[in-house]
Amino acid sequence: MSSQEVTTVATALAKTADAEAGTSVEYAARIEHVSKSFAGPAGQQLVLDDITLDVAPGEFVTLLGASGCGKSTLLNLVAGLDKPSAGGISTDGRPALMFQEHALFPWLTAGKNIELALKLRGVAKADRRSRAEELLQLVRLEGAYGKRVHELSGGMRQRVALARALAQDSRLLLMDEPFAALDAITRDVLHDELTRIWRETNVSVLFVTHNVREAVRLAERVVLLSSRPGRVAREWTVDIPQPRRIEDPAVAELSVEITEQLRGEIRRHGQH
């Protein structure tokens, strides 16, 4: 893990630890008319334009769009790692962020990576190990407390990263394509695990992906962002009962519909 990644992870954990829990409200996240621009060679470049979106308590929402549409930028804004150029974002407490890469500290064991989040939260030292082991059990990694990062498979590392995110005890979990680098079978297993954990914990999830079938398999609601600048192009409510499979006919049917919309956004972008 690079020094930049270490800094980003440490910042995200510290921001979570520093934030006080807010009063429970009717949303886990509220994004109101948010725009974001970055300075470029040709001046300010608009990446996100007038995004308005709510995530309800306990809701699982996927953000879908072509590469470069601003999905990860929006997630970083919700996490508080950057500020919007316009508009406002409010969340029910400080969100926890799970990255594309596992972003585990390689010099710590699996258990100690989780304990770091607990320590920053103010959990007493005497209670940290037992809580870390409970979280490892939740992600079905019993016995992995003392394992180093290099001893874990890619899927196991992502499970530890998920346990560390859950250790922050946030009401909102932000996930930035966490399974993109995994093989199909491991990803399929982790889809099942994430669905189970989401239902057991009732945490709200905002999940970024460019994989349409992944979006449909996991979410209660799929939000499609247009190509740059990113705008909310369309939303779908997914009424398919859980647990779902990638190969389920209903998942495939809705995925085809969404894929056509996504292709349209890509074609539109290519014309400019």
Assess contact for 143 and 175: CB atoms under 8 A.
no
Q: Which residues of 177-209 are buried (b: 16+ CB within 10 A; e: fewer)?
A: bbbeebeeebbbebbebbbebbeeeebbbbbbb
Task: Please name the residues in contact with 128: beta carbons below 8 A apart, sequence gap of 6 or more.
Answer: 115, 118, 119
| pLDDT class of 23 with cuts at 50, 70, 90 | very low
Same domain, yes or no: 233 and 263: yes
User: Pick from 138, 169, 200: which residue ends a domain?
Assistant: 169
Q: What is the mean pLDDT of residues 55-73?
A: 92
CATH value at residue 59: 3.40.50.300
How many domains does one find in the chain?
2
Same domain, yes or no: 112 and 182: no
> What pLDDT digit, counting tens, does each position of 218-233 carry?
999 999 999 889 999 9
User: Pick from 143, 169, 195: which residue ends a domain?
Assistant: 169
Separation between Cα atoms, residue 223 and residue 258, nearest integer Å: 10
Within a domain: residue 101? Answer: no
Separation between Cα atoms, residue 175 and residue 75, nearest integer Å: 8
Q: What is the mean pLDDT of residues 111-128?
A: 92
Within a domain: residue 63? Answer: yes
Residue 14 has a pLDDT of 53
Within a domain: residue 116? Answer: yes
Within a domain: residue 199? Answer: yes
Residue of 102 and 88 predicted with greater confidence: 88
Same domain, yes or no: 147 and 56: no
| pLDDT class of 198 with cuts at 50, 70, 90 | very high
Within a domain: residue 220? Answer: yes
Residue of 188 and 20 predicted with greater confidence: 188
Q: For residue 82, with 0-12 CB atoms within 10 Å meaning exposed, 13-18 middle and 19 or more buried, which class applies? A: middle
Judged by average pLDDT, the poorest of 10-14, 46-50, 84-88, 196-200 is 10-14
Same domain, yes or no: 68 and 187: yes
User: Pick from 139, 169, 199: which residue ends a domain?
Assistant: 169
Within a domain: residue 13? Answer: yes
Residue 1 has a pLDDT of 52
Strand ranges of the sheet holding 172-176, from the earlier edge strand across to the other edge:
96-98, 172-176, 204-209, 60-64, 221-225, 232-237
Q: 182: domain range? A: 3-95+170-270
For the chain, what is the mean pLDDT? 88
Assess contact for 111 and 53: CB atoms under 8 A.
no
Within a domain: residue 100? Answer: no
Same domain, yes or no: 17 and 77: yes
Same domain, yes or no: 141 and 39: no
Same domain, yes or no: 80 and 141: no
Q: What is the mean pLDDT of residues 11-17?
A: 53
Same domain, yes or no: 264 and 182: yes
Q: What is the mean pLDDT of residues 40-69?
A: 91
Same domain, yes or no: 53 and 85: yes
C-alpha R_g of the chain: 18
Same domain, yes or no: 19 and 79: yes
Segment 189-196 long-range contacts (CB within 8 Å, at least 24 positions apart): 189/155, 190/155, 190/158, 190/159, 191/217, 191/218, 191/246, 192/243, 193/139, 193/140, 193/159, 194/162, 194/218, 195/242, 195/243, 195/244, 196/243
Q: What's the pTM?
A: 0.86
Same domain, yes or no: 249 and 140: no
Residue 41 has a pLDDT of 82
Q: Which CA distances in Å does 15 have to 20, 27, 54?
A: 10, 20, 22
Residue 18 has a pLDDT of 47
For the chain, give the percent of residues with pLDDT over 90: 71
For the chain, give the percent of residues with pLDDT over 70: 89
DSSP string, 224-267: EEPSSSB-EEEEEE--PPSS--TT-HHHHHHHHHHHHHHHHHHH
Separation between Cα atoms, residue 99 and residue 2, nearest integer Å: 14
Same domain, yes or no: 76 and 182: yes
Owner of token pair 């939260």? 121
Residue 15 has a pLDDT of 52
| pLDDT class of 13 with cuts at 50, 70, 90 | low
Instruction: Quote the distance between the C-alpha of residue 118 and its chain's center.
Output: 19
**Does residue 80 come out as left (phi exceeding 0), alpha (psi in the -120 to 50 range) or beta?**
left
**DSSP code of residue 149:** G
Residue 21 has a pLDDT of 42
| pLDDT class of 44 with cuts at 50, 70, 90 | confident
Q: Does residue 61 surpass a pLDDT of 90?
A: yes
Q: What is the mean pLDDT of residues 45-56?
A: 95
Separation between Cα atoms, residue 105 and residue 102, nearest integer Å: 9
Q: What is the mean pLDDT of residues 131-136?
A: 94
> What pLDDT digit, counting tens, does each position of 67-83 carry?
888 999 999 999 999 99
> What pLDDT digit, counting tens, does each position of 238-271 carry?
999 988 999 999 999 999 999 999 998 887 766 4
Residue 76 has a pLDDT of 94
Within a domain: residue 197? Answer: yes
